[in-house]
Structure 1
Amino acid sequence: MPKIAVARLWFEGNSFTPTPTGMDAFLSREWITGNAVLERYAGTAMEMGAVAAFLAARPDWSATVLRCASAQPGGAMANEVMDAWMGEVIPALSGGGFDGVYLSLHGACVTQSDPEADLTILRAVRTAVGRDVPVTASFDFHADMAEEAAALLDGASAYRTYPHVDMDVAGARALAMLERRILGGPAMHGAVVKRPFVLQSLNMRSAEGPMAEVWALAAELEEGAVCEAFPFGGFAWGDSPHAGPSGMAWASDAGAARAAAERIAEAIEARRARFTVSSPMPEEAVARALEGPPGLVAVLDPADNPFSGGIADTPGLLRVLVENPPPVPTVFAFLNDPAAVQAAIAAGEGGRFERALGGQVTDAFGPPVPFSGVVERLTDGRFVNEGPMERGSPVDLGPTAVLRAGGFRVILTTKKEAAVDPAFFSLHGIDLGATRLMANKGKNHFRAAFAERCSLILECDCPGPASLDLTALPFRHVPASWLISA
């Protein structure tokens, strides 16, 4: 009976977000072990959902599910979180008795003291289990992948969609590679090839544009000796020595793996100029959206997108809407402001609300915006994602509030979770069919559920920790020559 170990630390760190991501962010989202992991994620479109399905289809296999942890992208992960995870997982693996190990990682994790945390994990896991125990991993497409990672693993996979709607598929591919090796299949050779530049991710969608072409090429390379070939776009706001795009490939022949990874890296480099985009200022974006076709239109603020490590607190887009209220039903999603939520709770539904919003974490991206209105709705902040992204995954926003001033609504949350799922709006009583304009702190993941619901989606350029102009950010580990301006 094969026995495997499973562990997960999924976190994307924005080095320019002013507050670190502490243990509370993990405890409120995912910090679990054992059968509770399989029970929670069975049937979901998540990596651990793939583990549950894998084991259900193989009753003669067993798994020890070690610490599984994730938090929304944010400021550098607190050292205590990394220490706690490593303190549980590495000793358990060192104890031996496993035929293989599967890791669910992000690839762009940075901590307060470690700008290459995923690589640190891989080194520690390999030391713990030795060279004879196969280890495979799945990664986010936005991984800042170290070239050394290929030598530490026996196989790997990555999301092939952006928005990421194939997390479970990536996990299943990594598990399949692990199974083949455990059952006596040939050893696979991996390769990572990087290029010395960092790219914005706004124009990296898998359905269209330059990265869609790279994904298509990678799929063509999967023949003969090559079993896995895929690109990484990198995470532009993670200040890591391994920042930037890369190609990864796995093959029964080391030369074939290297050649495939090189082809992918070349394809990204050839399209480098097409990844550089600019966006209108929020005033122009709102005006253009309101002139758009009938139906729901959206203006996105990528620079404060929670999935890019944003703080859901910058006031640029909010200020435009408060100072020049659109003459149509409008919703602003959202601000992460626990104190404002408590003020709304104190006022009660129907009560008056007078308070400055935004700019509470820092005023570096603009001062707070005075708001006057009423508390329309209070909730417990709990819902289950409809998908397609993270379908079936439970979400806990903490207590939330909906404020209203005329036809303008603002959603406030206690915890930071991106507003990219229709269930987020259903929870707050927002009728999207009766809404004309949605202002959202989002980016490409918003499109997974809303590309077909919206008649027009526009991004705007606001100040924030994930701003378009990379040259304006204080990188320490990435050479200035690798960066691009907006």
Structure 2
Amino acid sequence: MPKIAIARLWFEGNSFTPTPTGWDAFRGREWADGPAAMTAQAGTATELGAAGAWFAARPEWTPQVLRCAAAQPGGKMADEVFETWIAEVTAALRAAPPDGVYLSLHGACVTASDPEADLTLLRAVRAAVGPGVPVTASFDMHANMAPEIAMLLDGASAYRTYPHVDMDAAATRALALLERALSGAAPLHGAIRKLPQVLHSFHMRDAGGPMAEVWAEAGMSETGPVRDASPFGGFAWGDSPYAGPSAMVWAETAAAAEATAARLIASLAARLPRFAVSLPGPEAALATALASPPGLVALLDPADNPLSGGIADTPGLLHLLRDPPVETVLAFLHDPAAVAAAIAAGVGGAIDRPLAGQVTDAFGPPMPFAGVVEALTDGRFVNTGPMERGTTVDLGPTALLRAGRLRVVVTSRKEAAVDPGFFALHGIDLTRVRLLADKGKNHFRAAMAPLCSAIVEADFPGPASLDLAALPFRHVPEGWRRSLG
């Protein structure tokens, strides 16, 4: 009866976001251990949801659920949180040695003092269990992968969709590799090849385009000795020595792993020009949005996208839409103080205060806002999916503010507005809205694209800005910082 340790640290760090990611961000989203950690995700399209189904189908396996932690992408993770995770997990592994380990990781974690935190974590886990215990992992396809990771694991897989609607499938593949290792089969050989380039993720969607083609090629290569082939796009705003695209392959022979990884990287390199992106400025993007076919039109601000580590506080959208010509919803601003003021005023009460630019004025000044409180909520809803379907989201107390044709959602916690449940929570009927201004990018499309007649992205200033060459990288190798924007 194998005993399998499960641990999770899912965090994507934006090195250029001004606010660190500390305890509140993790405790507000996921900081749990023991059976309750997996029970909370039962039936969801997540890694822990998949793990629960896996163990339910294998009653002879015993799960040992260690620390499971996740937070929205954001500024560098606080060292204290990271060190606590490492200490808890490695102590538990040493105290009750497992037969195997499954790790749910993002792969683009950076902390206040460690630009390669996932590698540090994997070294610590391997040291705790020793060389004889198989360890497998699942990763986000935006992971910044160090080649050494292939030496520390016995198998791994990554998401193959963007927006990420296959988190559960990636976990299932990683668990299948763990089962293979425990069966006594010959160990797999891992290989990770890097492309010396930092890429934007705009054209990494699985619906079509260059990354979709590389994923298709990877899938076709999983024959014969090749057990898993996972291309990665990397995370451009994670200042890591291992930033950028990579290919990870697990095969029955070292030659097959190396050759397949090299072929996938060459395939990705051949498509580099197609990853280039150019976005219109705010005014031009707004004009395009307003000229779009009838129905709901989305105007996106990817530079402050919370799922790229944005702060949901930059004022660009608010300044652009201060007097919109059509019924408009802005989702959203992370502003606990504004929420508190709205609660004090009550529904129907007046609110007059500056909004946005509260964290920093580096991306523009705050904007005066005078309006009324239209709705207040407890901030809790369940994702309808497909991304993270079935998971509970907690925004903390929220408020819906109105000034003329503009409504603004303000929240106490920073969780992206990428699911219809976000809008239903606030009583917003999107069929009666012409313009949805959202701090989002590709993940927005998973559930929202079917509701929109058009989606327009604009080049705003923000922590995940388009101009990579202007960012103060310190750890990404200098020759890799070639912006395709």
Question: Alignment partner of 2:229: what SS?
Answer: strand
Q: 1:264 offset after TM fit, Å? A: 1.1
Give, in whole Å, the separation in 1 of the partners of 2:294 and 2:96.
Answer: 61
Task: Return the match for 1:417 from 415, 426, 437.
Answer: 415
Task: Return the match for 1:430 from 428, 433, 440.
Answer: 428
The reply on whether 1:209 has 2:209 as its aligned counterpart is yes
Give, in whole Å, the separation in 1 of the partners of 2:457 and 2:395.
Answer: 25
Q: What is the match of residue 264 of structure 1?
A: 264
Unaligned stretches of 5+ residues in structure 2 = none
Q: What is the match of residue 17 of structure 2?
A: 17
CA offset digits 1:280-331 (Å, max 9, x no partner): 1111111101100111110110000000000000001110100xx2222110
Amino acid paired to 1:65: V
Task: Return the match for 1:370 from 360, 364, 368.
Answer: 368
CA offset digits 1:236-288 (Å, max 9, x no partner): 00000000100111100111011111111111111111111010111111110
**Does the CA contact (< 8 Å) of 2:162 and 2:206 recur in 1?**
yes
**Does the CA contact (< 8 Å) of 1:119 and 1:146 recur in 2?**
yes
Q: What is the match of residue 284 of structure 1?
A: 284
Give, in whole Å, the separation in 2 of the partners of 1:348 and 1:180.
Answer: 58
Q: 1:452 offset after TM fit, Å? A: 1.1
Give, in whole Å, the separation in 2 of the partners of 1:155 and 1:63.
Answer: 19
Give, in whole Å, the separation in 2 of the partners of 1:386 and 1:309.
Answer: 23
Amino acid paired to 1:38: M
Give, in whole Å, the separation in 2 of the partners of 1:406 and 1:129.
Answer: 61
**Does the CA contact (< 8 Å) of 2:381 and 2:392 recur in 1?**
yes
**Does the CA contact (< 8 Å) of 2:13 and 2:109 recur in 1?**
yes
Amino acid paired to 1:429: G
Task: Return the match for 2:344 from 343, 346, 361.
Answer: 346
Q: What is the match of residue 110 of structure 1?
A: 110
Amino acid paired to 1:200: H
Q: 1:184 offset after TM fit, Å? A: 1.5
Q: What is the match of residue 442 of structure 1?
A: 440
Give, in whole Å, the separation in 2 of the partners of 1:186 and 1:96.
Answer: 26
Q: What is the match of residue 296 of structure 1?
A: 296
Give, in whole Å, the separation in 1 of the partners of 2:276 and 2:369.
Answer: 36
Q: How many residues align?
A: 484
Give, in whole Å, the separation in 1 of the partners of 2:38 and 2:20.
Answer: 29
Q: 1:481 offset after TM fit, Å? A: 2.8
CA offset digits 1:315-361 (Å, max 9, x no partner): 01110100xx2222110000000001111111110011111110000
Instruction: Give the TM-score of the pair, scaled to structure 1.
Output: 0.99
Q: Mapping of 1:443-462 within 5 angstroms?
A: 443-462=441-460
Give, in whole Å, the separation in 2 of the partners of 1:132 and 1:434.
Answer: 60
Q: Mapping of 1:175-190 within 5 angstroms?
A: 175-190=175-190
Question: Alignment partner of 1:342: what SS?
Answer: helix
Q: 1:471 offset after TM fit, Å? A: 0.5
Question: Alignment partner of 2:50: what SS?
Answer: helix
Task: Return the match for 1:478 from 463, 473, 476.
Answer: 476
Q: Name which of structure 1's ranges 148-157 and 399-408 shifts more when overlaid on structure 2.
A: 399-408
Question: Alignment partner of 1:126: what SS?
Answer: helix
Amino acid paired to 1:470: L
Q: What is the match of residue 396 of structure 2?
A: 398
The reply on whether 1:333 has 2:331 as its aligned counterpart is yes
Give, in whole Å, the separation in 2 of the partners of 1:344 and 1:331.
Answer: 17
Give, in whole Å, the separation in 2 of the partners of 1:56 and 1:351.
Answer: 51
Identity of aligned residues (%): 69
Question: Alignment partner of 1:54: what SS?
Answer: helix
**Does the CA contact (< 8 Å) of 1:155 and 1:174 recur in 2?**
yes
CA offset digits 1:352-405 (Å, max 9, x no partner): 111111000000000001111110000000111110000011111000000011
**Does the CA contact (< 8 Å) of 1:469 and 1:484 recur in 2?**
no
Q: What is the match of residue 221 of structure 2?
A: 221
Question: Alignment partner of 1:207: what SS?
Answer: coil
Q: 1:96 offset after TM fit, Å? A: 4.3
**Does the CA contact (< 8 Å) of 1:233 and 1:244 recur in 2?**
yes
**Does the CA contact (< 8 Å) of 2:97 and 2:129 recur in 1?**
no
Q: What is the match of residue 238 of structure 2?
A: 238
Q: What is the match of residue 359 of structure 1?
A: 357
Q: 1:186 offset after TM fit, Å? A: 2.1
Q: 1:202 offset after TM fit, Å? A: 1.0
Q: 1:183 offset after TM fit, Å? A: 1.7
Give, in whole Å, the separation in 2 of the partners of 1:484 and 1:242.
Answer: 15
Q: What is the match of residue 161 of structure 2?
A: 161
**Does the CA contact (< 8 Å) of 1:471 and 1:480 recur in 2?**
no
The reply on whether 1:174 has 2:174 as its aligned counterpart is yes
Q: Name which of structure 1's ranges 158-167 and 262-271 shifts more when overlaid on structure 2.
A: 262-271
**Does the CA contact (< 8 Å) of 1:231 and 1:246 recur in 2?**
yes
